[in-house]
Amino acid sequence: MVAPISGLTAAQMIAVEGDVGVQMSDTERIIFNLEFDRMMALNYKERTIVNLFKKHLGYIYKSCCMAKKEFDGVDFSGLMPKDGQFGWSPIRPEHILGTGMQTWRVNVTSIESDGWTDLWGTSATKSKPHEDALVTVVGMANYNGSPKSTALKHTIMGTEYPVVYFEPGIRIGNISVIDIVKPYRVLPKKEFHVEVKYDRTGLDELGATGVTFALADYLRTKSPDTEA
C-alpha cells in the first residue's frame, strides 16, 4: 500500500473502519488518501479552508466508511465513480437546499426580534439529505464581502448543538471561514435543522463547507435534490 499523503496511516484507517463495522479495500484507502489533496486543490484556494478540511480528515474518512455501509458495501471510487460505485464531492448548495438552489445567497429583508431565523429546514419540517447522499459538514464559509450572519444553531439527527458565535472573527479578523468546533454528518434521509442569527438586512451567503459522499448517479446529475 502506498504511503498516504494526507495524514492518515493504514493503521488509523483500519481503526476507523473497525469503529464503523466496515472494511475498506486497499484500493479504496489509496483513493481516499491520494484524492483528498487533489479535491482540495481543485475546489478551494483559501489556505484556511484547506486547513479546516485537514483538521477533520479522520472524521471525513469515518464518513466515507459509514457511506460504504449505508450504500450496501459498494466500492468507493473517489471523484469519478462509475455505475454501482459511490464517490465524493465538495458540498454543493443543492445537496443541502434542494434542486435548483445553485447558490447560498439569501436576501435578508427583515430581522426577527431576537435575530434568529431558519436557514435550513424549520423546527416543524426538518431538511433531509437525499437517500443516495451522506453529507459531512466541517465548517461554514460566508461568500459575501459584507456578512450579515453572526451565529448558528444546529440540530442534527435529533442532537442539539451549542450556538456557534463567529461575529468577532468576521468583524475583527476579517475571517470568512468559520470553524464550527465539532463537525457533523447527516446520514441519508435523516433530519437536520439549522438556524442563523442576522444583525442587519441585506445579502448574505453563508454556506456549508464539507464533503458529500453519494452514489454515482447522484453526483452526475446536474440538479441533485434533497429528500422530500
Mean pLDDT over residues 90-115, rounded?
92
* Under 8 Å between Cβ of 208 and 91: yes
> How would you classify residue 148: left for phi > 0, otherwise alpha for psi between -120 and 50, otherwise beta?
alpha
From its phi and psi, is residue 58 left (phi > 0), alpha (psi between -120 and 50) or beta?
alpha
Region of 164 (left: φ > 0; alpha: ψ -120 to 50; beta: rest) is: beta
Summarised one tens digit per residue, pLDDT across range 202-213 is 999 999 999 999
pLDDT digits (tens, 9 = 90+) for 124-173: 999 999 999 999 999 999 999 889 999 999 999 999 999 999 887 777 66
pLDDT at 1 over 50: no
Band of residue 5 on the pLDDT scale cut at 50, 70, 90: very low
pLDDT for 6: 57
* 105 and 71 Cβ atoms separated by less than 8 Å: no
Phi, psi of 146 (to 5 degrees): -135, 80
Longest dimension (CA), the chain: 57
Q: Return d(Cα 160, Cα 183) in angstroms, integer.
A: 13
- For range 102-110, the mean pLDDT: 93
Per-residue CA distances from 72 to 23, 85, 86, 130, 133 (Å): 12, 10, 10, 16, 13
